Structure formats: C-alpha cells, structure tokens
Amino acid sequence: MLSNPDRAGRVVEAVHGKSTTLPDPHWEIDFATELKHRYSTESLLEMYGSYTSCEGWLNQVMRRIFWRALARSIGSALTINPGIGMRHPETFEIGDSVFIGAQSFLQGRCDGHLRIGNHVWIGPQSYFDARDLTLEDYVGWGPGAKVLGSTHTGRPIDLPIIQTDLEIRPVVIEKWADIGTNATILPGVTVGQGSIVGAGAVVTKDVPRYAVVAGIPAKVIRLRDTTDDAWESIEQSCTTRP
C-alpha cells in the first residue's frame, strides 16, 4: 500500500504562546473605570449580555471593557470569544494576553478566588468551578476541559447529598502545564509545572512536574525528562503521596 504524504504530520510555529503583549489603549481603561463607578455589578452584567453573542471588533472590545469593569483586575490583550458566561467576576484576576474560547463558563463564588496568569490559552466550551482556582503563566487548557473545586460532603447520610455542606478545595495548574481536550481536574489537585494531562483524563490526585498522565483515573505514563534519576524521583513521589 502506498503511503499518503498528506497524513504525515507537520510542525508549525506556536502563535499564542509567543505573542507580544501590546498595552490596551487608555480610552478602554478609562471607559471601564467610568462604567465601574456608575453602575452596579448586576447592571454591568446585564449590559455585557448585549455583546456576548456576536463576532467583530466592536463586540470584542466591549466584552473586554465590561470584563475590566467587573473583575478584580484585568491585564492587557484579553481575548473573550462569543458566548462566554460567568458568575462572580469580581473575584477574577486575569493577566496579560489571555485567550478564552467561545461558550466557556467561569463559575466563581462570592468568597472565592480565580487567578489566571499571563499567556494562558483556554479552549472553547471549557468549564471552571472557580471557587479557589489558580492557572499560572503559559497554561494551555484544551477545548471542553473541566475543573471542579468543590464537592458535597455527603454527611449526614440521612440527607440528600445536594443538601449536605460543600467542601471547597484549591486547585492549582502550575506554569507551562497543558490540559488535554475534555480532561477533568477534581478538587484539591495540583498539576505540576510543565506536565501534560491527556485528552479525556480524570485527574484525582496531584500530577508531578514534567509528567505525562492519562486515563481514568489518570496515571503517570512517562516523564518528559526520561532520565533514570527523573523516573526514580517520580516513582517515589507516586508511592509516598497519600
């Protein structure tokens, strides 16, 4: 059988992760500041809804202005695609050159905290239970990936589970990590620096730095650094972790 040259892979240069951050124009920042002084959070969210669904330069700029008026802090060059929903944006801290894909949802909490670092790329249809969540710099977040920051205690047993208290546990995605399409990160997990979470994986415990994990539940399948010393270190961390 003849090989099909079109099926051979190709390597192209990264775009988002190497982009230069240009400061937002002063008039955008001034406009957002004025809106924040004049209107309540509820009113700002209502007005933001007028710009959520459409493409185009004006809608993109207006979404960015409203996010700056609503959030705790917003860096420059934020890209907000259509259809993105949010709750409690006043708890959001977002860095420079962040991309948020269409139809994503960021579920904050009034006493919570969501921090997104610089040059983070978030794919479409992602879900963030952002009760206590940190995404550090240069994190890639695949389309449809989800993170849960809370779970019901299930106690006492004579109550429906949804009536029991919520336990909120912090989730941290350390810098340079990459989360695969449709992966799920469960409460209390730290994904280590430079690690890769495979598509569809369910991550139930901490991921060591520079590890590649996959499966349900996710397990270490290799290290990005495959030296013997690195393997010994990873095996020790896996066996000693509770």
In the residue annotation, 37 being an active-site residue is answered as: no
Q: 100-135 burial by CB neighbour count: b if 16+ within 10 A, else e?
A: bbbebbbbbbeebbbbbbbbbbbbbbbbbbbbbbbb
- Choosing from 16, 26, 113, 152, the catalytic residue is 152
Amino acid at 66: F
**Is residue 52 within a helix (H) or strand (E), and if so which, with residue range?**
none
Are the CB atoms for 206 and 187 separated by under 8 Å? no
Contacts of residue 103, defined as CB under 8 A and 6 or more positions apart, other chains included, come to: 81, 82, 83, 84, 124, 125
Which residues are part of the catalytic machinery?
Answer: 152
